[in-house]
């Protein structure tokens, strides 16, 4: 940025040639995206900081407040003057270790505005803004400074002033089941109780997803109406404060992804791009598929707790290892093998022991047997949120698994709150965030990959920590049998999945089981492997269902890849349907998956992503015309077709149904 002085007034010529007046306490900076269509404007108006956002000349967010309120002093929100500002352009292309897209372009324009309070104690604050073609981001950076060594953050004043009449889709925050709720549509004006991010909003001609990136050492952001605007509500600690930090400190990025429609949001990689590249070599991370001593507990055949119907016995584990080998599934999750599941495990988790097994289970025999048969054990740590108890054992428990050749751990944080330092804290509070991070970094040290259930929300940190393979963090299939409607999986791609992959535990083919009836058709269970990204995917049903009942459908589950060269959303509308095509990582085959809500629908697919002039054999797994999630879940058809680039195909999805397709180069 060039700077000119006239008398005591200064002018800046921004990176893009616009001229802005600058005197001490008034300034405007426009940060434009590389294609110029997305613009975020920072305003310093008589010392007060705010911003607004435009796309294609239309206001997306009107002028919105910025600032941080502190416990022991006045807020960092006004009384500022500009010290200087720097702009830069950035354009890099990086390779992911796994994900929905292998090669990702990170292209943005950035301006950092260095502010200083006019009056004593002359505190410093830097506002850093980035404009991407698919959205904007900003964060607060509080530098080390003479008058302030640390801060107790009482509130974050950030507003997102969208039109309050806009439709929005969200799940409630601060509820006992954390992120595990069904989505509801409401005008923004009715978000008077806090909701989680990503929050999706149709602001008219543009869809936005408000979220955050790189959440470290701070409470997770929720949002709620405050007067006339939507405002950040940072998850508080038990004493009501939002965060205790030492300087220098940067907040997570506040992010607004923008798409021309809801489907367009799903292509954004902005959240990952706002995270740093890994500091170490993570080439040891490896996506995997796994069976589990798991669903048998949900349908009531076995139990987590020891007893006559105990699931995690040495004998069952060895049978499941044989099944993995037969089915070509490389991993086996074992839940319920350790001490802590007796009685009401949700209440008793305080005394869980992560290395002591029940008398009928022998980790050495099981892991040796797994190794001999080429099957890896996926370990399990159910903490029940008793962090004090877990952290005392965590390192040793990781080492225990490592000593048994276990490289993957599914962790769990069931319970409505966490116990940390003897106090009850939200999972999404600063102390919760710090725990999840500690667990992740320690796992990396031991070469362990994590699948976190009841996690902290995804904010793209898996770019920096690629051993964070996947997380749950939404209502998943464990809620079937009553609490899931077919629309749920049609909301996820436009909401929760914008924050990263999810372990939805797909592949339940025993859809009409009397004790856990699924609100899906059977082929839709295959579609999930394509529509819900996860670098660790479970084949969640019991092995006999795959071996004996549906070997024809299982073939798809076995073959579907766990990471993709690229992903192209084809059709979709929030809450109604979603269809996506994904190309095999380093390969030429394509997979397409689609899901619909309670309504059956015929969709037109324009196949324009295949290699031109080449024949592809499409193996299609679809609902029969008379299939229905309520009374004819098992109506399915498997067929093969020759498909070439440029073809149009019609695909039918039954109510609560879906389809999966593999396109193999001939
Ligand atoms: C909830 C998790 O989501 C589920 O997968 C797990 O089996 C139970 N907690 C027990 O840990
Ligand atoms: Ca869960």
**Once rounded to an integer, what is the mean pLDDT over residues 428-434?**
98
- In this predicted structure, the answer to whether residue 13 has a pLDDT above a threshold of 80 is no
Per-residue burial over 509-541, b = 16 or more CB atoms within 10 Å of its CB, e = otherwise: bbbebeebbbbbbbbbbbbbbbbbbbbbbbbbb
- In this predicted structure, the answer to whether residue 634 has a pLDDT above a threshold of 90 is yes
pTM to 2 decimal places: 0.96
How much of the chain, in percent, has pLDDT values that exceed 90?
A: 96
Instruction: Report how far apart the first and last C-alpha atoms of the chain are (Å, whole number).
Output: 55
| Upper half-sphere CA count for residue 318 (Cβ side, 13 Å) | 13
Please work out whether the CB of residue 503 comes within 6 Å of at least one atom of ligand 1.
no
Q: In the chain, what are the domains?
A: 2-162+209-273 (2.70.98.10), 289-473 (3.20.20.70), 484-666 (3.20.20.70)
Distance in Å, CA 481 to ligand 2 centroid:
15
pLDDT of residue 7: 37
> 293, 385, 478: which to mutate for ligand 1, most atoms within 8 A of CB?
478
Strand order in the sheet with 9-13: 2-6, 9-13, 19-22
If pLDDT is split at 50, 70 and 90, which confidence band does 24 have?
confident
pLDDT of residue 403: 98
Tokens for 454, please give them: 């009841």
Residues belonging to the active site:
478
Q: Is 658 helix (H, G, I), strand (E, B) or coil?
A: strand
Please work out whether the CB of residue 414 comes within 6 Å of at least one atom of ligand 1.
yes
Mean pLDDT of the chain: 96
| Residues 220, 236 contacting (CB under 8 angstroms) | no
User: Measured between alpha carbons, how far is 97 from 5 in angstroms, rounded to an integer?
Assistant: 49
Q: Residues in the chain, how many?
A: 666
Q: Give the model confidence (pLDDT) of 110-148 as tens digits.
A: 999 999 999 999 999 999 999 999 999 999 999 999 889
Q: What are phi and psi of 417, to 5 degrees?
A: -140, 175
User: Which residues are placed with Cβ below 5 angstroms of ligand 2, an ion?
Assistant: 453, 472
**Listed residue (397, 370, 367, 369) closest to 382, CA to CA:** 397
> 344, 409, 414, 416: which to mutate for ligand 1, most atoms within 8 A of CB?
414
Neighbouring C-beta atoms of residue 644, cutoff 10 Å: 14
- In this predicted structure, the answer to whether residue 18 has a pLDDT above a threshold of 60 is no
pLDDT of residue 609: 98
pLDDT of residue 1: 38
| Upper half-sphere CA count for residue 412 (Cβ side, 13 Å) | 17
Q: Which atom of ligand 1 is nearest to the CA of 412?
A: 11
pLDDT of residue 147: 85
- In this predicted structure, the answer to whether residue 20 has a pLDDT above a threshold of 60 is no
Query: Do strands 288-293 and 536-538 pair parallel, antiparallel, or not at all (unpaired)?
Result: parallel
Please work out whether the CB of residue 382 comes within 6 Å of at least one atom of ligand 1.
yes
Query: Do strands 199-202 and 195-196 pair parallel, antiparallel, or not at all (unpaired)?
Result: unpaired
Residue closest via CA to ligand 1's atom 11 equals: 382
Token pair 């997380």 in the structure block, residue: 471
Q: Give the model confidence (pLDDT) of 511-551 as tens digits.
A: 999 999 999 999 999 999 999 999 999 999 999 999 999 99
pLDDT of residue 23: 52
């Amino acid at each position: 940025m060039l700077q000119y002085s006239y008398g005591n007034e200064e002018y800046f010529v921004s990176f893009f040639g616009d001229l802005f007046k600058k005197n001490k306490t008034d300034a405007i900076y426009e940060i434009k995206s590389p294609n110029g269509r997305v613009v975020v404007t920072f305003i310093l108006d008589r010392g007060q900081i705010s911003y607004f956002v435009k796309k294609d000349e239309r206001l997306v967010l009107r002028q919105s407040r910025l600032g941080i309120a502190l416990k022991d002093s006045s807020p960092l929100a006004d009384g500022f003057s500009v010290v200087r500002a720097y702009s830069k352009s950035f354009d890099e292309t990086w390779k992911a270790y796994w994900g929905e897209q292998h090669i990702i372009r990170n292209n943005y324009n950035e301006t950092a505005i260095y502010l200083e309070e006019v009056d004593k104690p002359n505190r410093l604050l830097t506002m850093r803004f980035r404009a991407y073609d698919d959205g904007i981001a900003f964060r607060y950076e509080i530098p080390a400074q003479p008058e302030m060594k640390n801060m107790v953050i009482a509130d974050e004043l950030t507003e997102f002033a969208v039109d309050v009449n806009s439709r929005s889709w969200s799940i409630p925050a601060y509820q006992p089941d954390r992120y595990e709720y069904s989505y509801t549509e409401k005008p923004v004006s009715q978000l008077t109780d806090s909701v989680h991010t990503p929050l999706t909003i149709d602001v008219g001609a543009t869809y936005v997803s408000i979220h955050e990136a790189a959440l470290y050492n701070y409470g997770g952001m929720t949002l709620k109406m405050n007067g006339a605007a939507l405002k950040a509500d940072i998850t508080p600690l038990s004493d009501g404060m939002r965060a205790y930090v030492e300087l220098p400190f940067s907040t997570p990025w506040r992010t607004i992804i923008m798409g021309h429609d809801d489907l367009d949001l799903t292509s954004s990689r902005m959240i990952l791009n706002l995270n740093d590249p890994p500091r170490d070599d993570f080439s040891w991370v490896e996506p995997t598929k796994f069976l589990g001593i798991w669903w048998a507990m949900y349908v009531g055949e076995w139990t987590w707790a020891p007893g006559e119907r105990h699931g995690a016995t040495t004998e069952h584990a060895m049978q499941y290892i044989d099944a993995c080998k037969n089915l070509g599934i490389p991993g086996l999750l074992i839940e319920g093998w350790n001490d802590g599941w007796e009685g009401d495990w949700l209440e008793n988790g305080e005394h869980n022991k992560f290395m002591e097994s029940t008398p009928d289970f022998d980790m050495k025999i099981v892991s040796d047997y797994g190794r001999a048969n080429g099957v890896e054990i996926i370990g399990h740590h159910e903490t029940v949120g008793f962090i004090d108890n877990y952290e005392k054992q965590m390192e040793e428990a990781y080492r225990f698994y490592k000593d048994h050749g276990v490289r993957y751990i599914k962790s769990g944080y069931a319970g409505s709150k966490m116990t940390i330092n003897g106090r009850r804290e939200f999972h999404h509070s600063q102390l919760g965030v710090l725990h999840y991070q500690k667990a992740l970094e320690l796992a990396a040290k031991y070469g362990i990959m994590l699948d976190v259930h009841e996690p902290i929300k995804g904010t793209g940190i898996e770019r920096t920590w690629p051993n964070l393979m996947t997380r749950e963090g939404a209502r998943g299939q464990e809620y079937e049998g009553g609490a899931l409607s077919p629309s749920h999986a049609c909301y996820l791609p436009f909401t929760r999945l914008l924050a990263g992959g999810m372990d939805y535990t797909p592949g339940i083919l025993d859809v009409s089981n009397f004790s856990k009836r699924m609100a899906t058709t059977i082929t839709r269970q295959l579609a999930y492997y394509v529509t819900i990204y996860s670098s660790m995917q479970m084949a969640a049903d019991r092995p006999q269902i795959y071996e004996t009942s549906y070997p024809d459908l299982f073939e798809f589950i076995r073959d579907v890849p766990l990471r993709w060269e690229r992903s192209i959303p084809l059709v979709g509308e929030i809450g109604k349907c979603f269809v996506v095509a994904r190309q095999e990582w380093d390969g030429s085959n394509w997979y397409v998956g689609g899901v619909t809500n309670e309504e059956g629908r015929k969709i037109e697919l324009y196949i324009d992503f295949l290699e031109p002039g080449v024949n592809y054999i499409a193996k299609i797994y679809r609902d029969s015309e008379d299939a229905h999630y309520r009374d004819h879940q098992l109506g399915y058809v498997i067929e093969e077709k020759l498909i070439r680039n440029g073809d149009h195909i019609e695909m039918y999805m039954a109510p609560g149904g879906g389809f999966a397709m593999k396109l193999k180069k001939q």
